[in-house]
Structure 1
Amino acid sequence: MSTGLGARPSATTYDVERLVGMAWQGQIRVPHFQRELRWGREDVIRLFDSLVKGYPIGSLLLWVRPAAPQTITLGALEINAPKLDQSLWVVDGQQRVTSLANALHEDAARDSRFALAYDLRAEEFVPRPVIMASHVIPLPTLFDLRRVLTWFAKNPEVAELQDRAFHLTTIIRQYPVPAYQVEQEDTEVLRDIFDRMNNYGKRLSRAEIFSALNAGPEGGKSLTLGEISEHIDEDLSFGRIDNDTILYAILARRGHDVQREIRLEFDDEKRRGVSDFPGEDRDAAFNAGEEALRRAVTFLQEEAGVPHFTLLPFRYLLVVLARVFAHFPEPDPTSRRLLRRWFWRAALVGPEIFRGSVTGAVRTLCAKIHPGDLIGSVQDLLDAVDRQAPPPLPELRRFKTNEAAGKITLCSWWALEPRDPTTGELMDIADLAECLIDRPTPADAVRYMVPPRQVDVKQRLWAANRALVPVVRHESGKEIGHLLLHPALTVEGRELEKTWLAILDSHLVTLEMVELLRSGEVERFLMARQEVLLGTLESFLSRMCEWDFEDTPPLAGLLLEDLPDDEPALSDEDAHGPA
């Protein structure tokens, strides 16, 4: 039991300039029991918006103690930190300190969460554009007065905005951040403080508890759940998988019961049950778990038609696939096809068919995967979701991007290879990933065909008024109907008509529908397009689920009786009949 603090915390204040400078110099460290960085780009933008508006951003709790020399990771920054007799370890305030230190440092701009700029004309923080306009200044530049002067010397056309930039530089650098400092040698006391501060009002997630329990020694370089998510997103543009899903995938790989006690996960002697990988330590499990997830994501993107994490109908299906690809890294083509069939059938029936819903589904399905028996595993997975009749199609009269039905529908649209209405170019996974950075749903990639105010109430939730367009380079918001009517293409003549027709086709819009829109017949347009969308969805799911096909395993898995010694083998002619 902890004995409490020997002395009261001391109160102090750091301005952002000093706080960030200390972080860059390695004077600020993050204890290994801290939860991982959870903030996304919008959270960082809100933090800086609070700074310039003078809003309070909360106080920090800093632990004063010695620190060994080491290379530390702070967000996207790698810092060579020196040995210090007194350093500041962040017990509370990690998200804020990390965000400030990264968003104001040029080296961290490679991480989209921290690649921010300030639009001096619109007076707002924005994601840093690929091509910088003269009135949009990167945050690391805005933070440094000398660099601000250089910026305006190179961009004299926006000289009238110079005073505004100087004012912002001063506000950000001098913003006061209150902090409490604790001098305490007992790590358990600090763990107790951390636990209490982070459990009042909001409980730690299972992934955060697991990470704290298995953090490894201070100063280690062990792979984390968040880093696994970052690696997969960077390499495959799949989006950030949440830490809980990654944890469940790691647990599923090692044993089918993902709800087991996690405090003894890597203690084979005390843990009940047998691990599929006995003797494996934490680092080996994380590395192998990342590889299994990577294979599962590649399968989803290349064969199952799910391009991005936000379009995944149910997260638990990724956990099950991770267990499959952990035990069977290279399934044969027939097994992969059957896996695709299983995935889409499972997505359609949903978790409700299992006792306990999602919890019961992931437990039941992971238990169907038997190490060393790929064919039996796939067959059992298919049997688990088998129904006498195909389930009903997703409801297109109630289209919502945060529901499984909406995500299934979007996958059917992605299969059409949608084109950018402004260029005619095919949109790819990278476009989708860029549009959906830090987004929990695919809503930002879905545009209205017609402004909702022009649509009758009974049709406002229809899928027919939506299109999957993750890239739109124009100023008219989310509505793309007018672009289909009047394409802003640079090509001319027959090439213009050809490109325009390809754009229409990729978004399931016919010339007859275009005429309905042009004549203001919105209701008839939506009714016509809704019918086409329904047929496309039915065709997509029929192709993916293959309801009319036998779930036949690969020939290599079939047991054939040995022929008698005197029975001649069939020749090609015998097998196929006379020519």
Structure 2
Amino acid sequence: MHVDRIERSIGKLIDEISDAEILLPEIQREYVWKPTQVAKLMDSIYRGYPFGSLLFWETDEAPETRAMSVNGAGAEPTKPPLFLLDGQQRLTSLHRVFTDHPDAQVVFHVENQKFQNQSAATGRDPKWVKVSDVLNPKASMLRLTQRLLDACSALADHEIEERLSKIKALRDRRFVMEVLKGFPYEEVAEIFVRVNSGGRRLGTLDLAMATLSTRWKGVLTQLQSESEHWLREGYGGIDVNFLSRALAGVVLGRGLSIWSHSKLRQTRDDELERGWKVVQRGLRRLIPLLQSRLGLTRSDPLPSMIVLIPLVVLLGERSGDDLDQDTSNGVVYWLLLATIRTRYSGSTDTRLSQDIRAVRQDDPIRSLLEGLDIDTSRAEVTERALRGRTKESPYFFLSLLVSLANGARDWWSGAELLPPTDELPKLEHHHVHPPATLDSTRFDKAMVNDLANLVFISTQASKRISGRSPREYFASLSEADLRAHLIPLDDALHDTENYARFLNARRALLAEAMNALLERFRPSFLDEGPAENADPSAGLALDLALYGTLRDGGRIGFSASGEGISWAGWAAMAELDSAIESARVAGLDSDVTIAGESMPVEMIEESLQVPIGPFLVTGTPEEWRAVFDRELETARPLSAFPTMETKQWHGEVTKFPVTSTD
């Protein structure tokens, strides 16, 4: 085994991709770069900045491959190919730009020497030239220069020619290549994961996928085929990552860990094949159940896809084809409560391990409910639990389910809320009382965006409302239209001045409907148990408020409240934003100063956890990003930041989902 170090021009590498002399092994992920990243890469190469090396594997093993996201590749190679391990995003992007791919229309402004993706504005400005036109071997520099002169460029003709020729010369810039020779597939997979980890801790899912592909060649093709099947069914959330985790869960009997890597290596082919059949069978039992019992015709409303995996194991390993009523009810009941309790908001794989063990017990539903601490009680949703919740909370999902169960449809058009179609429109929601009608001095953003003020209607319906109060536009809706969306019918509540009373009344209707939904599926063995709040965080609140911007020293204020809790503090907006991005992009831990004390921002499994006063706030990096971006939209001037008496919290800390913040 050895490593060769050579150099090759960009033009030569692009030709080799087109001739199928560079291929992707199946352990590679999909192409994910955005147009802005492609334009920045072109800019870096143009300016002579370093643009990294490439890692290849030369082998006689002929591993399984996956297609590159480029034009024209697929010819039969005339010589043994090289397999690309590191540099897929860069090489794919360059190939796309050089070959005029429709998703890589990079243009160059000859005067300010700027690259960006083509837009309507650049299309109207003749001083922008498409990079692929310059790179075309048959392109005439004379004609391009004349075209820019005709566009009244302020540059002299020789300056234009120099800049265009500099782009033309990009084809000759050279990559440093390292080529692994004589390495077995298993070791190459390990190298791939480490190289592509970007300095972060090795992801357990990365390790699992790489190991599965080496242990069972062709597995990613099977996963992709299964994923495409469910995409056609509306369940795009059942992607390759989900299926890999589900397969590992069945085979290992637990969530993923670094330990999983070596364990998967020892798994026999027949065990992997048997596990894959369990996953497929479980999905073909679970998804129709969710579609028929909850009206959940697609996966995008689900707050977490991980919550499905224990149920896939349970139903996939169950003998017989018929699913009895008690089991089907119990499956749905657990899914609803696990969602309310944000079961997988932190320590994902630890919880998954517990739940997979539970479904393999003699009484799986009871065992699953024991994991939620409600095996002897009846869970109920209270009005208090709904107070201050927004669209990021799990109750948003439940409000959709009760609207579906109530026969709700889009106002005026009558369209379905979740149409079962291949071309899935985005689930939409809008305000009953539009923000423009509410007095901002009386009702803060949390009250305006309260879950009780949201209904599932289309943009067209929202435009018809057009900033009018319910008092005006309810007149064109029937009582049945309002009841279906659980809108209180009391006329007095439709006036803006009674907005707070409207929220209370609608929360009561939502809570009643949510409890009726739980009642439909509650296992009979819980009938005699005492009632218990379905949400342990009910009555607790964490309000976030942003002041200023990321550029002017903006701050984010925290205000925590609840029984025996009253706390306030703040952090620098840029510091928290940087910590979120470090976790989201690279999985890196950070520190943020909150209330004058340095607090750890840690990635625990797939959850980003931050101690904020009395709460350990948890959620995926993507959930943190969504909440932060939500607050940015309503940020107030930095001059409005209130005088805040902050103090460190020294009491008990309670886990609190970031999606439940106001």
Answer whether TM exceeds 0.5 for this pair: yes
Quote the Cα distance in structure 1 between the aligned partners of 2:338 and 2:34: 37
Q: Is the 8 A contact 2:54 2:177 kept in 1?
A: yes
Q: Deviations over 1:138-191 (max 9, x none)?
A: xxxx9987xxxxxxxxxxxxxxxxx9xxxxx99999976863222441326866
- For residues 264 and 67 of structure 1, do their structure 2 counterparts lie closer, same or farther at Cα, with a shift above 3 Å needed? closer
Q: Is the 8 A contact 1:256 1:363 kept in 2?
A: yes
Query: Equivalent residue for 2:183?
Result: 187
Higher strand share: 2
1:221 aligns with 2:218: yes
Residues 482-561 of structure 1 aligned to structure 2 (within 5 Å):
482=466, 506-509=484-487, 516=494, 521=496, 524-525=498-499, 527-529=501-503, 531-546=505-520, 550-551=524-525
1:239 aligns with 2:236: yes
SS in 2 for 1:181: strand
- For residues 245 and 548 of structure 1, do their structure 2 counterparts lie closer, same or farther at Cα, with a shift above 3 Å needed? closer
Query: Equivalent residue for 1:61?
Result: 54
Q: Give, as a single letter, the amino acid of the residue that structure 1 aligns with 2:317.
A: H
Quote the Cα distance in structure 2 between the aligned partners of 1:71 and 1:172: 36
Query: Equivalent residue for 1:339?
Result: 331
Query: Equivalent residue for 1:262?
Result: 260
- For residues 68 and 549 of structure 1, do their structure 2 counterparts lie closer, same or farther at Cα, with a shift above 3 Å needed? closer
Identity %: 15
Query: Equivalent residue for 2:201?
Result: 203
Shift of residue 404, structure 1, vs aligned partner: 2.9
Q: Give, as a single letter, the amino acid of the residue that structure 1 aligns with 2:311.
A: L
- For residues 195 and 51 of structure 1, do their structure 2 counterparts lie closer, same or farther at Cα, with a shift above 3 Å needed? closer
Q: Deviations over 1:414-447 (max 9, x none)?
A: 44455445733223245797455xxxxx7xx444
- For residues 291 and 433 of structure 1, do their structure 2 counterparts lie closer, same or farther at Cα, with a shift above 3 Å needed? farther
Q: CA RMSD in A?
A: 5.4
Shift of residue 336, structure 1, vs aligned partner: 1.2
SS in 2 for 1:199: coil
SS in 2 for 1:311: coil
- For residues 75 and 430 of structure 1, do their structure 2 counterparts lie closer, same or farther at Cα, with a shift above 3 Å needed? farther
SS in 1 for 2:525: coil
- For residues 73 and 454 of structure 1, do their structure 2 counterparts lie closer, same or farther at Cα, with a shift above 3 Å needed? farther
- For residues 527 and 28 of structure 1, do their structure 2 counterparts lie closer, same or farther at Cα, with a shift above 3 Å needed? farther
Equivalent of 1:26 in 11, 20, 32: 20
Query: Equivalent residue for 2:631?
Result: none
Equivalent of 2:317 in 310, 314, 327: 327
Q: Give, as a single letter, the amino acid of the residue that structure 2 aligns with 1:185.
A: K
1:37 aligns with 2:27: no
Q: Give, as a single letter, the amino acid of the residue that structure 1 aligns with 2:54.
A: L
Residues 128-167 of structure 1 aligned to structure 2 (within 5 Å):
none
- For residues 264 and 47 of structure 1, do their structure 2 counterparts lie closer, same or farther at Cα, with a shift above 3 Å needed? same
- For residues 234 and 125 of structure 1, do their structure 2 counterparts lie closer, same or farther at Cα, with a shift above 3 Å needed? farther
Q: Is the 8 A contact 2:410 2:456 kept in 1?
A: no
How many residue pairs align between the two structures? 469
TM-score by structure 1 length?
0.62
Query: Equivalent residue for 2:355?
Result: 365
- For residues 239 and 506 of structure 1, do their structure 2 counterparts lie closer, same or farther at Cα, with a shift above 3 Å needed? farther
Quote the Cα distance in structure 2 between the aligned partners of 1:281 and 1:548: 35
Query: Equivalent residue for 2:87?
Result: 93
Query: Equivalent residue for 2:227?
Result: 230
Equivalent of 2:368 in 374, 381, 388: 381
Q: Give, as a single letter, the amino acid of the residue that structure 2 aligns with 1:215.
A: S
457-466 or 175-184: bigger deviation: 175-184
Shift of residue 504, structure 1, vs aligned partner: 5.1
Quote the Cα distance in structure 1 between the aligned partners of 2:285 and 2:61: 38
Shift of residue 29, structure 1, vs aligned partner: 0.8
Quote the Cα distance in structure 2 between the aligned partners of 1:173 and 1:357: 51
Quote the Cα distance in structure 1 between the aligned partners of 2:302 and 2:170: 42
Equivalent of 2:455 in 463, 467, 486: 467
Q: Deviations over 1:255-303 (max 9, x none)?
A: 5333574345467xx67xxxxxx86243553354244234323323332
SS in 1 for 2:399: helix
Q: Give, as a single letter, the amino acid of the residue that structure 2 aligns with 1:186.
A: G
TM-score by structure 2 length?
0.56
Q: Give, as a single letter, the amino acid of the residue that structure 2 aligns with 1:182.
A: E
- For residues 49 and 79 of structure 1, do their structure 2 counterparts lie closer, same or farther at Cα, with a shift above 3 Å needed? closer
Quote the Cα distance in structure 1 between the aligned partners of 2:203 and 2:221: 15
